[in-house]
Amino acid sequence: MSVPVLVNAGGGTARGLGDRCAGEVEKAFAAAGLSVEVRMLPGEAIGAAAAALADRALVVVGGGDGTLGSAAGELARGGAALGILPLGTRNHLARELGVPLDLGAAAKLIAARPIRRIDLARANGRAFVNNASIGAYPELVEERDRRDAPKWLATLPATWAVLKRLRHHRLRLTLAGREQPVLTPLLFVGNNRYALDAGRLGAREALDDGVLCVFAVAAKRRRDLVGFALRTVMGRADPQRDFALIGDTAELTVDGHPASVAVALDGEVTRLPLPLRFTVEPGALGVVAPLEGDGATA
């Protein structure tokens, strides 16, 4: 039986390849000795397509982190392993797992089929593989996507627009059975711990520690927030000064006065009702990736 390959036709690399994308993917897998069935789909259709295939042993998904997240939640429920074709813009999960960014090399890895188990996080049942955020970042994504320009070009004016109308969110966080009110321009929830150290910013030490990493940025004026961003990029963020809350937890509840809130899940913005319940499912997702240790396939 051919392995299904679901490709987000609007994803970074796939969009650049255009009509050649399906043929290039088929060629890469043929060279790796694997028979595939390629389906070019709009990004919003990936989750439903993955759900329909979740009883298969392996489903390959081509796209960025948001695409992978939308498919991962469905595949984990059905027990299918996720093969990654890193066809997005940044491909954070692929990089952290050591999945080759070259199409041919990624196809060869998938054909070899080493399976790792990693954690999967959810917000009100919606899966994410990397992180979720409330506040300035989802606002930036929405502002950027309204502009008729490539993402990298639209990011700077979008950032300036968000800073000009900077909003602080009054939220009630409950973790480890304790409620804490926070006033923050940005709440970040990571699937496992994210580093703030110089040279490792945005990296995770592990993908299978079974914890959520929570950062609530302290309330700041616009100019102070710019300083915080610069310190963070340099790996010099001050936990006491820069954050209203930092912590690890197995479960987090976020509540507030609005009936719903914009949430960025792996960079894709959606609106979810409050309260938000964040959970982590240890080892819930099988992914095709280079193995740690002796290289034995799990």
Domain limits of the chain? Answer: 3-113, 131-278
pLDDT in tens, 225-283: 778 777 777 777 777 788 888 899 999 999 998 899 999 999 999 999 999 999 999 99
pLDDT on residue 271 = 96
State the amino acid at position 20 in one-letter form: R
| CA proximity to 288, closest of 78, 75, 132 | 75
Catalytic residue among 26, 251, 268, 281: 268
Domain 3-113 matches domain 131-278 at the CATH topology level: no
Name the average pLDDT for the chain.
Answer: 91
Q: What pLDDT, in 10s, does the model give residues 161-179?
A: 888 888 899 999 999 889 9
- pLDDT reading at 93 higher than 70: yes
- Residues 91, 65 contacting (CB under 8 angstroms): yes
Task: State yes or no: is 268 an active-site residue.
Answer: yes
Q: What does the pLDDT read at residue 114?
A: 97
pLDDT of residue 295: 42
CATH number of 131-278: 2.60.200.40
Structure confidence by residue, pLDDT tens digits, 123-141: 999 999 999 999 999 999 9
Q: Among the ranges 85-94, 139-148, 177-186, 274-283, which has the highest mean pLDDT value? A: 274-283
Tokens of 297: 């396939």
Residue with tokens 């000064």: 241
Task: Give the pLDDT confidence of 68-81 residue by residue, as tens digits.
Answer: 999 999 999 999 99
Who wins on pLDDT, 148 or 68? 68
Name the CA dihedral angle for 259, 265, 269, 270, rounded to a multiple of 10 degrees. -40
**CA 177 – CA 253 distance, rounded (Å):** 10
Sign, Cα dihedral of 195, 83, 282, 250: positive
pTM (two decimals): 0.90
Give residue 296's pLDDT. Answer: 39
Q: Residue 1: pLDDT band by 50, 70, 90 thresholds?
A: confident
Alpha helices in the chain, H assignment, sequence order: 12-17, 21-31, 46-52, 65-78, 92-97, 103-112, 136-145, 151-164, 222-233, 239-242
For position 198, what pLDDT does the model report?
Answer: 67
219: confidence class by pLDDT, cuts 50, 70, 90: confident
Query: Domain 3-113 adopts which CATH fold?
Result: Rossmann fold (3.40.50)
Q: Provide the pLDDT for residue 132.
A: 98
For tokens 């199409």, what's the residue?
103
Is residue 293 pLDDT above 70, yes or no?
no
Q: Residue 32's pLDDT band (boundaries 50, 70, 90)?
A: very high
Residue 159's identity, in one-letter code, is T
pLDDT value of position 116: 97
Q: Please determine, for residue 298, whether its predicted confidence score (pLDDT) is greater than 50.
A: no
pLDDT tens by residue, 149-162: 777 788 888 888 88
Q: What integer is the mean pLDDT of 210-215? A: 96
User: Which pLDDT score, from 0 to 100, does residue 297 have?
Assistant: 38
The residue among 240, 235, 226, 160 whose CA lies nearest residue 201 is: 235
Q: How many CB atoms lie within 10 A of CB 257?
A: 9
